[in-house]
A and B are shown apart, each in its own frame.
Chain A
């Protein structure tokens, strides 16, 4: 055994960090796959939102007379809400994965990992990447309903959508970690769902459009000003919009804005999470 001992020490530090990164990532993915509760959420959300809400409201958003606009967006409600449900699934799963940081930190594997040779940055990166991967998978579950919602998907659409989803999942998981780091005692996920996820989702222009044909002033006549302002300052609005641009070719804002917002949010949130993490 003494011979082995020296070989372990001789590995390059980078290799050790990458191996550990892989280990933590794999753990997150395995845990999520085995968490039946999370899987149930991953399937019930798309079904409820796309199937029930989408179909339920679909007839109220369709044209009855040619030339007459009843829905400001040239899509069915099903198509319109579809990209938003992808975002919703990613949102829930990302935050869920991130929230487990609280438990990991106090009682779980983080305590064990933090005494290892892994650098904290790599531990956090592994955790965030793992959570983001799981969130991506949950987002892809929604994409399975594309045919049902009549969203035509070409290969290039899917690749672009996956890219956006990855950025979004990374940013949201980082956000989850930032919040989790600031919470000392965890007594239920409900508070996250009600205080973070749903408000973000509902004010992201996910379930109703801000008509792009209208000017700012006009939008403020259609909707009360406070609502328009809420939608406009919600960064998630731009992520939903970018994804909508890819999936159903409809943008309310410049699609590059969505990418920029996600990239900046991802980097900033990860940096904050890292600072907190180093301190913790």
Chain B
């Protein structure tokens, strides 16, 4: 289990954090020692092993948490937004660990995230909104089922425009300024190109993305909520409140 907010012990060193986890999860001493070294090497924190966790950057903390989750044996590992608030390099690094894990240790890795582009490489994707499962499938299937390819064309003349609009009225998705949006498929693209190719000012295809899938499933409204006691406490801790860490 890797949590969204860091649940490391800031006053313990990197190694002590891993030790504590090993003890709590009942990993025998010899194995614990071995695993700690292995996992420190995996997340590239060996040089930092005797530094207090509070001295690590947020990306390093996240890496340490991943190492921690791997000290004991588990068949499934849950990452709660492992990349939230991190820079691009750290995010890329973390995903490379996650992929290695899946491949090398044959563990089921369950990842939650807000960065929808990150889940492209996953085996299965589940979209959850307000606690309800809206969709669960492979990324490709999701894209196929929930998101159509959209052809965006801008004809050169008004005559052509009228012609296209009447001809593809059944496929019309809408008009945005000058461009016409058509619900598309590969054959349609070919047909349009063959017929109007020279009379178009521009043509683009909006490829289906998981982002589009997500938005189409969950809608576009913002989700504002009042800060609960938990958020207030967290804010207090972030301000450097005493007796927190």
Contacts and interface: CB of A to CB of B under 8 A. Distances in A.
Interface of A: 1, 4-5, 7-9, 11, 15-17, 19-20, 22-24, 26-27, 30-31, 34-35, 37, 96, 99-100, 102-103, 106-109, 111-113, 115-118, 184-189
Interface of B: 1, 3, 5-9, 11-12, 16, 19-28, 31, 34-35, 52, 68, 72-73, 105, 229-230, 232-234, 236-237, 241-245
18 contacts: A5-B73, A8-B27, A11-B28, A20-B26, A23-B22, A24-B20, A30-B11, A31-B11, A35-B11, A103-B244, A107-B5, A107-B237, A109-B20, A112-B7, A184-B233, A185-B233, A186-B243, A188-B242
A189 B244 CA distance: 10
A8 B24 contact: no
Contact of B9 (A19, A108, A185): A108
A157 B216 CA distance: 75
A116 B74 CA distance: 11
A23 B34 contact: no
A116 B68 CA distance: 12
Contacts of A117: 25-26
B241 A187 contact: yes
Given A11-B26, A22-B23, A117-B26, A27 B9 contact: yes
A99 B236 CA distance: 14
9 closest A-B pairs by beta carbon, nearest first, are: A23-B23, A16-B26, A185-B229, A184-B229, A20-B24, A5-B73, A34-B11, A187-B236, A103-B244
A96 B24 CA distance: 23
Contacts of B21: 112
A100 B3 CA distance: 19
A112 B243 contact: no
Given A8-B73, A112-B1, A1 B244 contact: no
A113 B8 CA distance: 11
B233 A4 contact: no
Nearest to A186: B233
Given A99-B243, A103-B233, 19 more contacts: A4-B31, A4-B35, A7-B28, A8-B27, A8-B31, A16-B25, A20-B25, A23-B24, A35-B11, A103-B243, A107-B5, A108-B9, A109-B7, A109-B8, A185-B229, A185-B236, A186-B241, A186-B243, A188-B236
B244 A186 contact: yes
A236 B237 CA distance: 31
A99 B244 CA distance: 8
A7 B31 contact: yes
Contacts of B68: 112
Question: Which residue, B25, B27, B35, B242, has most C-beta atoms of chain A within 10 A?
Answer: B25
B12 A30 contact: yes
Contacts of B7: 107-109, 111-112
Contacts of B73: 4-5, 8-9
